[in-house]
Amino acid sequence: MDGGDWLTIAGTLLSSVTLILIARITIRSERKAVERAAAQAERDRQREHIYRIWLQKQEVAESIRLASGKWLDLIAAAYQDLLDGRSVDAEFGSESDTLRKELYSAIAHAAGVGIWISSGDHEVDGFRALDRNSLVRVPMYQALARASRIVITASRGDLQSGRAIDLEEIKKLLEGAKDSRETELLRIAGEVARQEPPSPPPPPHNYLLDPPGGGSYSGGPGGGVL
């Protein structure tokens, strides 16, 4: 073999080595691009998760404010109902009780309790008010107790006499209304409401087709990275 043959062989080897190096660099670049795309997609998922949690906290804070702000009025109205020997919905339909109906509906919504009231049939959660002393108000007071984070008890004597809950218990609640529990609930609700909203999640994106930073990459050794 003369010198020309050796040069040809050397050139061929050099070309092969160069192609191998280019292929390895390309594969490594594409692998990094895939990793970057996966990392960016994960960051987007985390942002969406954080944003959803923030929205849920806002909803909870609003429910707490709604419940804490109105439950005293509701209990006071219910107390007077009991003193008068009336069921909660005895006067629904009259103009004077429209606000009371709205308050009960609001507190029930905040408590996550479904209360449906019909002024015609006088029904609450399926319990029909048969007379002025009906126990129709029992589920209503249960909703109030849940919404205001308090415990309302009923004794056998109260139920037998047509009263939904002990009048003395309501009186105690009214006397010690602005207690530390309500203050704490309002404080937490205020803190949550003041939190800055996080950035909303970006729209769905395919980072494999359109990697971060622009450009694109192919799946073969000869494609290269732009």
Structure confidence at residue 30 as a pLDDT band (50, 70, 90) = confident
Note the pTM of the prediction, 2 decimals: 0.31
For 123-168, how does the pLDDT look when each residue is reduced to its tens digit (9 = 90+)? 433 333 333 333 334 455 555 544 444 444 444 444 444 444 444 5
Q: Using the 8-state DSSP alphabet, how is residue 161 labeled?
A: T
What residues form DSSP beta bridges with 225? 217
Instruction: Evaluate if residue 56 carries a pLDDT over 70.
Output: no
CA distance 78 to 164: 10
For 108-128, how does the pLDDT look when each residue is reduced to its tens digit (9 = 90+)? 444 443 333 333 344 433 333
pLDDT of residue 130: 30
Instruction: Evaluate if residue 25 carries a pLDDT over 80.
Output: yes
Helices and strands, counts by H and E, the chain: 6, 3
pLDDT of residue 12: 76
Average pLDDT on 38-64 reads 72
For 174-213, how does the pLDDT look when each residue is reduced to its tens digit (9 = 90+)? 555 555 555 555 555 556 556 666 666 666 666 556 665 5
Q: Is 28 helix (H, G, I), strand (E, B) or coil?
A: helix
pLDDT of residue 1: 53
Nearest to 135 by CA among 87, 96, 192, 182: 87
Report CA dihedral (127, 128, 130, 136) to the nearest 10 degrees.
40
| Domain spans, the chain | 39-194
Encoding tokens for residue 168?
A: 């003395």
Contact yes or no for 201/48 (Cβ under 8 A): yes
Q: What percent of the chain has pLDDT over 90?
A: 0
